[in-house]
């Protein structure tokens, strides 16, 4: 192995970044350069720009040891968001842990769909995880809506509550297995990014998915069990003409539309994501 792949004492930021990027790249990490910068920025509390302007500064042994440990962890495929402890979504900095899914850019599609409806009243995010969707909506709607969110995982709810407090966005969080603890509450909008991956999908062993909570990823043999539950039970909690919006897999649009129609929703349509794939299906209670 080349000598520059080892960290040594009296190493500068420039040298440490060079080694880190090389190690990540050799391990097949596609975002090697960015991840190395993010990790070192996290450890030094320097911005990515400051890493450049201070590239001749020497790093302490403590930081170098931590850098080495985190780079090795990233090489295993461990998600950069979990290493940093946060993920940006809709311009919001959200805490994430292994108890929550990592928010994806495509999930911003459901946020935009919900904003396009220009609803007022109460809105609900089902299976909120880190709180990404409901906090994004509350940040835009502000006092025009009363925001609610539920999740079966108490640990995920704790993370969502922390994000709500840190962002000063008021949301009522409810521990609930889908609608079980919502009593007779009715909403002007219900959104959800539920588990929708097939149980034996090969993607579960790739990228960051092996490190994310499996209960928030898979939903039966066809991945649609939870979507069926939500579509069926949302009818009792939606106001007349109120929309239900559900994120799903790129190849599930036709099946999800069929589920919506089978439960009597009207004006059912699917919205595509940034890559042109089916991503969010919308239907309105009759």
| Tens-digit pLDDT profile for residues 173-197 | 999 999 999 989 999 999 999 998 8
pLDDT of residue 220: 75
Q: What is the pTM of this model?
A: 0.90
Distance CA 279, CA 272 (A): 5
pLDDT category of residue 2 using cuts at 50, 70 and 90: very low
| Number of other residues whose CB lies within 10 A of the CB of residue 237 | 20
Mean pLDDT of the 201-207 span? 65
Tally the C-alpha atoms within 13 A of residue 120's C-alpha that lie toward its C-beta: 2
Buried b (16+ CB within 10 A) or exposed e, 39-63: bbbbbbebeeeebeeeeeeebeeeb
| Number of other residues whose CB lies within 10 A of the CB of residue 171 | 23
285 within 8 A of 231, measured Cβ to Cβ: no
CATH class, range 3-77: mainly alpha
pLDDT category of residue 5 using cuts at 50, 70 and 90: low
Q: What is the pLDDT of residues 47-87, one digit of tens each?
A: 999 999 999 999 999 999 999 999 999 999 999 999 999 99
Q: Is the confidence at residue 153, as pLDDT, over 60?
A: yes
Same fold: 3-77 with 98-284 = no
pLDDT of residue 1: 39
pLDDT category of residue 34 using cuts at 50, 70 and 90: very high
Q: 165: which residues sit within 8 A by CB, 6+ positions away?
A: none
267: left (phi over 0), alpha (psi -120 to 50) or beta: left
Could you say which DSSP state residue 187 is in? B
In CATH terms, the fold of domain 98-284 is: Rossmann fold (3.40.50)
pLDDT of residue 210: 77
Domains in the chain: boundaries: 3-77, 98-284
Q: What percent of the chain has pLDDT over 90?
A: 86
What order of strands is seen across the sheet that includes strand 243-247?
172-175, 145-151, 121-126, 189-192, 243-247, 278-284, 266-272
pLDDT of residue 203: 63
pLDDT of residue 209: 72
Q: What percent of the chain has pLDDT over 70?
A: 93
Q: What is the pLDDT of residues 208-256, one digit of tens each?
A: 677 777 766 666 778 899 999 999 999 999 999 999 999 999 999 999 9
pLDDT of residue 7: 79
Q: Is the confidence at residue 268, as pLDDT, over 70?
A: yes
11: left (phi over 0), alpha (psi -120 to 50) or beta: beta
User: Higher-confidence residue: 203 or 275?
Assistant: 275
Distance CA 25, CA 82 (A): 19
């Amino acid at each position: 192995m080349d000598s520059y792949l080892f960290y040594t004492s009296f190493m500068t930021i420039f040298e440490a970044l060079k080694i880190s990027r090389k190690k990540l790249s050799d391990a097949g990490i596609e975002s090697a350069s960015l991840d190395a910068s993010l990790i070192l920025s996290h450890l030094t509390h320097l911005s990515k720009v400051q890493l450049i302007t201070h590239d001749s500064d020497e790093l302490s042994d403590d930081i170098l040891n931590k850098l080495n440990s985190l780079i090795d962890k990233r090489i295993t495929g461990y998600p950069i968001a979990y290493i940093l402890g946060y993920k940006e979504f809709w311009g919001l900095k959200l805490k994430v842990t292994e108890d929550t899914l990592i928010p994806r850019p495509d999930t911003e599609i459901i946020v935009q769909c919900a904003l396009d409806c220009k609803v007022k009243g109460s809105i609900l995010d089902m299976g909120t995880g880190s709180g990404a969707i409901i906090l994004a909506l509350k940040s835009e709607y502000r006092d025009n809506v009363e925001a609610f969110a539920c999740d079966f995982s108490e640990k995920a709810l704790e993370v969502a509550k922390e994000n709500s407090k840190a962002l000063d966005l008021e949301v009522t969080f409810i521990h609930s297995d889908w609608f079980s603890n919502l009593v007779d509450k009715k909403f002007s909008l219900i959104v959800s990014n539920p588990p929708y991956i097939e149980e034996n999908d090969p993607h579960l062993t790739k990228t960051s998915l092996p490190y994310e909570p499996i209960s928030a990823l898979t939903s039966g043999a066809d991945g649609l069990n939870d979507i069926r539950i939500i579509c069926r039970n949302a009818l009792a909690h939606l106001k007349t003409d109120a929309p239900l919006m559900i994120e799903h897999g790129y190849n599930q649009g036709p099946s999800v539309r069929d589920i919506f129609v089978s439960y009597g929703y009207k004006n059912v349509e699917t919205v595509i994501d940034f890559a042109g794939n089916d991503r969010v299906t919308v239907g309105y209670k009759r």
